[in-house]
């Protein structure tokens, strides 16, 4: 039995999310069926974070096991990419890892990026991949206010009602807001996140950007531990899972970097 670790990129627009579902096509189903198509084995693919419908990934991580021992990592990457066509899913890198590695439970850090298009003209080339906000936002004020959320807190105010996490307490290591021309990038980094936590944080920070909320208002919302005290939920379009961090010494990963793809930079 060989365990393979994958770095996966996808456009979440056409999918019901990562997870295989009866209500529509999930990214998981596309990858699993691609693996079966070239290997002849029925597999279960586990991911680092189950993204929602419309959420994208540049650095999703997944793993699966194959009984066959004659398949190389290059074949795994290229064969999956061949069989996932025409779906917007790509395997950027494949590695053989230790049997104790788990894409979700071995992760020590996750990084998300949320992209806001902040201009009067609607999105054309980036439609479906950003949150278009036509009114002017003060990114500096958003960043300053966001710093009250850094650290270990009860994030109930920013937690979806359907969240299945056992505890609302999470440690947010980074929450930064930076303007790049017409785009505002919100970067969130933590070991793990609650369901809709990043989107709820971004939606609430937009109220600060519009001048409707202050830094003190955001702090009071956090301390209220009540979802109704928070702001809106930002749409999924602008959210990207950028990177999942692991202790490579613990995973036993044996990396393969493609000769034609080059080193990945998430």
Token representation of residue 31: 């990858």
Share of the chain above pLDDT 90, in %: 92
**Residue 253 pLDDT:** 46
Q: What is the dihedral of CA 159, 161, 163, 167, to 10 degrees?
A: 60
Residue 66: both structure tokens together: 């194959």
Contact 218, 150 (CB under 8 A): no
CA separation for the pair 176, 139 (Å, rounded): 10
Residue 251: predicted pLDDT: 54
What DSSP string describes 8-22? EEE--TTSSBSS-BT
The model's pTM: 0.91
pLDDT digits (tens, 9 = 90+) for 181-212: 999 999 999 999 999 999 999 999 999 999 99
Choose among 158, 142, 154, 239: nearest CA to 197: 158
**E strand residue ranges, 35-135:** 46-47, 56-66, 89-97, 107-117, 131-132
pLDDT at residue number 247? 87
The pLDDT confidence band at residue 174, using thresholds 50, 70 and 90, is very high
| Mean predicted confidence (pLDDT) in 134-139 | 98
Give the CA distances from residue 66 to residues 2, 32, 48, 95, 190, in Å, rounded to whole numbers and listed in that order: 5, 12, 19, 13, 31
Coil, strand or helix at 130: coil
DSSP state of 158: G
Rounded Cα distance between 182 and 120, Å, is: 10
Per-residue pLDDT tens over the stretch 78-109 = 999 999 999 999 999 999 999 999 999 999 99
Q: For residue 24, what is the DSSP state?
A: B
Question: Residue 125: is its pLDDT beyond 90?
Answer: yes
Question: What is the pLDDT, as a whole number, of residue 256?
Answer: 35
Q: Which domains does the chain have, with CATH numbers?
A: 2-105 (3.30.70.580), 109-242 (3.30.70.660)
| Longest alpha-carbon distance in the chain | 60
Q: Tell whether the model's pLDDT for residue 258 goes beyond 80.
A: no
Active site residue 52: yes
Predicted pLDDT at 266? 20
pLDDT tens digit sequence for 205-234:
999 999 999 999 999 999 999 999 999 999
Q: How many CB atoms lie within 10 A of CB 67?
A: 10
When pLDDT is cut at 50, 70 and 90, the band that residue 249 belongs to is low
> Average per-residue pLDDT in the chain?
93
Q: Which of 52, 65, 78, 217 is catalytic?
A: 52
Q: Predicted confidence band at 156 (pLDDT cuts at 50, 70, 90)?
A: very high
Q: How many C-alpha atoms does 47 have within 13 Å on its Cβ side?
A: 24
pLDDT value of position 93 = 97
Interatomic CA distance for residues 51 and 196, integer angstroms: 10
C-alpha 45/C-alpha 90 separation (Å) is 15
Is the pLDDT at 129 greater than 70? The verdict is: yes
**Three-state SS annotation for 187-232:** EEEECCCCCCHHHHHHHHHHHHHCCCCCHHHHHHHHHHCCHHHCCC
Q: How far is CA 243 from the centre of its chain?
A: 7
């Amino acid at each position: 039995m060989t365990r393979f670790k994958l770095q996966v990129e996808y456009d979440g627009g056409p999918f019901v999310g990562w997870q295989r579902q009866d209500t529509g096509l999930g990214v998981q189903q596309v990858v699993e069926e691609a693996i079966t198509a070239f290997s002849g084995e029925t597999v279960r693919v586990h991911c680092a974070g189950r993204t929602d419908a419309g959420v994208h990934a540049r650095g999703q991580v997944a793993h699966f096991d194959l009984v066959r021992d004659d398949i190389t990592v290059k074949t795994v990457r290229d064969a999956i990419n061949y069989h996932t066509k025409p779906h917007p899913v790509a395997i950027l890198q494949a590695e053989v890892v230790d049997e104790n590695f788990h894409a979700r439970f071995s992760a020590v850090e996750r990084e998300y990026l949320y992209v806001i298009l902040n201009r009067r003209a609607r999105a054309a080339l980036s439609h479906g991949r950003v949150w278009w906000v036509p009114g002017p936002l003060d990114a500096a004020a958003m960043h300053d206010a966001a710093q009250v959320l850094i650290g270990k807190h009860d994030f109930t105010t920013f937690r979806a009602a359907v969240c299945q996490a056992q505890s609302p307490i999470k440690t947010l290591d980074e929450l930064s807001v930076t303007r790049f021309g017409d785009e505002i990038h919100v970067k969130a980094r933590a070991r793990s996140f609650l369901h809709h936590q990043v989107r709820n944080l971004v939606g609430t920070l937009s109220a600060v950007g519009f001048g409707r909320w202050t830094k003190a208002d955001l702090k009071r919302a956090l301390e209220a531990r009540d979802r109704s005290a928070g702001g809106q939920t930002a749409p999924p379009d602008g959210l990207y899972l950028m990177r999942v961090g692991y202790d490579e010494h613990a995973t036993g990963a044996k990396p393969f970097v493609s000769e034609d793809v080059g080193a990945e930079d998430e």
